Chains A and B, each alone.
Chain A
Amino acid sequence: MRTPERLHALAAFVVKELRHILRDRQTLVILLLLPLAQVVLFGFAIRTDVKDIRLAIVDAAPDDASLALRAHFTGNGRFRVVATAAMIEVIEPLFRRGQADVALVIAPGLARALADGTPAQLQLITDASNPNTGTTIQAYAGAVIGAWQIALPGARQGVVIEPQVRMRFNQSLESVNLFVPGLISLVLTLVTAQMTAISLSREKERGTLEILLVSPLRPWQIILGKVAPYLLLAFANVVTAMVAAWLVFQVPFRGSLALLLAASTLYALVGLALGVLIAARTNSQRTAMMGSMIGTMLPSTLLSGMIFPIASLPWPLQLISNIVPARWFIVIVRGIMLKGAGIVHLWQELLVLAVMLTVLLVVAIKSFRARLA
């Protein structure tokens, strides 16, 4: 066949693929709304930052200084004072009943201690039944105390206590900022790897793939025709996720949109190649679905650093995480969105994805070419 005929054949195939997608309205609507739903749900539900911290204050002998400190806590949107008492014994039952998350114990004579420059005693007691939340609360409370110290008049800023935690790039400590890049990668994985695997294995199951393989179409034409429409869908999804993140959570976007879309395309192609590979190696839609679930969705969620930091994984899993494309993609997206990083900073991650894509494409086309057994 001559080149124009090949393009014509490819176009006919892409049109058919688009018709499949457009005709399956339910799936289409789900796929289009998915990024929106995920950003909103994940953004609100799974957060590692803590809001509405219930604070118990024990202030045995209130004075100017302690009242100022308390004002810092009440003035901070995150803390809600549930009890103020003079005696420390009050705290214990509050913790037991789960009515307080943290207690601030101010020893008597805070003002005088500050005036004298002698060590003042502050104690933070945190409910650490959920260690992550506990650590976070501790950090927040420490930050409030730090702010109070800085506001002290003159040289009264003696070394009272210095738990200063500074969160770079995410000063507001919004966990949603960290989630959105992970969500984009998750949505892309779903649309590319899983949908391609399912749609290709459906052709295999129904026998239409046989007809295509008997036709003059070449394997690359079939693969390209299959993945092109999903690439479009993937693009729409990235944009939806970004807009949703920005509108609902005011997630910042500091870098280049073009670079982000380019990186997303690269990542989507990796996913599509994976999907083709999975479909080529499985014999039914069901197996392909399970295969893409275990082979792409799980690692993209658990081993990518989306929820659990890679550094906190046991070393065998850390090692495995290196071959999870999402792990690299998330670094790229976080870099672009939150840090405004450019290609100078991210070329290594991009290179890793490009290498993955090349390897996957070669293997996918090869196993596709291996004629049906």
Chain B
Amino acid sequence: MTLAIEVKDLTRRFGDFTAVDAISVDVQVGEVFGFLGANGAGKTTAIKVLIGLLAPTSGSARVAGFDVVTQSEEVRKRIGYMSQRFSLYDDLTPRENITLYGGIYGLSDLDIRARGTAMLSELGLMQVADKLVSTLPLGWKQKLSFSVAMLHRPAVVFLDEPTGGVDPVTRRQFWEMIYAAAARGTTVFVTTHYMDEAEYCDRLSIMVDGRIAAIGTPAALKAEFGVSSIDEVFVRLARPTTAGAG
């Protein structure tokens, strides 16, 4: 079985600062992989290298079977990306956003219409399909944003803190959407600051100062550190100096 994401000794420096320090990660096809780390640990930099927004300083990375540097265009056709910031166009309607992204990803008009309608009715957004996105509540926007990132049925989807600022009920629904996507065979690479969400992942890694400090299933990690929650694992690894001071 080929790997969805294959990272070997990936390093990215900005001048003297090493944001990502020789990390290696393998993610299986169809896996929900949690990519954890404190602010500034290097998560976003690593994701940007994987999606082709930044070039690696050294090391290699393959996504969906293609090299992110030499085959960037093949990679970009096969991935979806939802950034930390809400990234749909506020002054367009949901349907217009769908038309835009469908077109950019080379879907036919017929596909765009069919998938768009299916998506909007699944999300329960049919009534607001032709209202400006700026008028929708944040939770709806985030769900829409995720669905748009999934519109072209990518092999791998990167979600950078997708649930920031969203209420618990919507977060729950959001994770149901993530599971559904994974069940359809899409590999999900997700970063989050919510430790309860980390527990939902098939496997996860915790980044500290540009390195991967721990990697495994939630159960294995808890066992390894002898604690009862990922939260505790995270605190031990990510903030060793402040953990005792509490």
Contact = CB atoms under 8 A, between A and B. Distances in A.
Interface string B70-103: 0001001101010111111111100010011111
Chain B's interface size range is 20 to 34
A12 B53 contact: no
B115 to A, nearest CB: 14
A13 B53 contact: no
Nearest to B100: A16
A14 to B, nearest CB: 10
21 contacts: A1-B106, A5-B106, A8-B103, A9-B105, A9-B106, A11-B103, A12-B99, A12-B100, A16-B92, A19-B96, A20-B89, A20-B92, A206-B85, A206-B90, A207-B83, A207-B86, A210-B53, A210-B83, A215-B76, A215-B101, A372-B48
B55 interface: yes
Nearest to A205: B85
A254 B104 CA distance: 45
A371 B12 CA distance: 14
Given A16-B96, A19-B92, A213 B103 contact: no
A128 interface: no
A15 interface: yes
Given A207-B83, A214-B52, A13 B76 contact: no
Contacts of B87: 206-208, 210-211
Chain A's interface size range is 20 to 34
A23 interface: yes
Given A12-B104, A15-B99, A216 B77 contact: yes
Given A20-B91, A23-B91, A371-B55, 12 more contacts: A13-B104, A16-B96, A206-B85, A206-B87, A207-B83, A212-B104, A213-B52, A214-B81, A216-B104, A217-B104, A371-B52, A371-B54
B51 A214 contact: yes
A11 B103 CA distance: 8
Q: Is the interface of B mostly helix, strand, loop or mixed?
A: loop
A24 interface: yes
Given A19-B92, A24-B91, A214 B79 contact: yes
Given A19-B96, A207-B83, A216-B77, A9 B103 contact: yes
A103 to B, nearest CB: 63
Nearest to A218: B73
Interface string A349-373: 0000000000000000000000111
Q: Which of B90, B101, B103 has the most CB of A within 10 A?
A: B103
A16 B89 CA distance: 9
Given A207-B85, A210-B87, A15 B52 contact: no
Contacts of A207: 83-87
Contacts of A9: 103-106
A216 B103 contact: no
A213 B53 contact: yes
B198 to A, nearest CB: 24
Interface string A1-45: 100010011011101100110011000000000000000000000
B83 A215 contact: no
A1 B96 contact: no
Contacts of A212: 104
A15 B95 CA distance: 13
Which 8 pairs from chain A and chain B are nearest by CB?
A12-B103, A207-B85, A5-B106, A16-B100, A214-B81, A211-B87, A207-B87, A215-B104
Interface string A206-240: 11101111111100000000000000000000000
Nearest to B112: A12
Q: Which of B79, B87, B101 has the most CB of A within 10 A?
A: B87
Interface string A234-267: 0000000000000000000000000000000000
Nearest to A211: B87
Contacts of A16: 89, 92, 96, 100
Interface in B96-129: 96, 99-106
B104 A15 contact: no
Given A1-B106, A9-B106, A12-B100, A211 B83 contact: yes
A216 B91 contact: no
Nearest to A10: B103
Contacts of A211: 81, 83, 87
Contacts of B53: 210, 213-214, 371-372
Interface string A96-127: 00000000000000000000000000000000
A214 B106 CA distance: 14
Nearest to B79: A214
Interface in A321-341: none
Contacts of B76: 214-216
Nearest to B108: A8
A155 B81 CA distance: 91
Contacts of B79: 214
A366 to B, nearest CB: 15
Interface string B36-64: 00000000000010011111000000000
Contact of B54 (A206, A216, A372): A372
A208 B89 contact: yes
A23 to B, nearest CB: 5
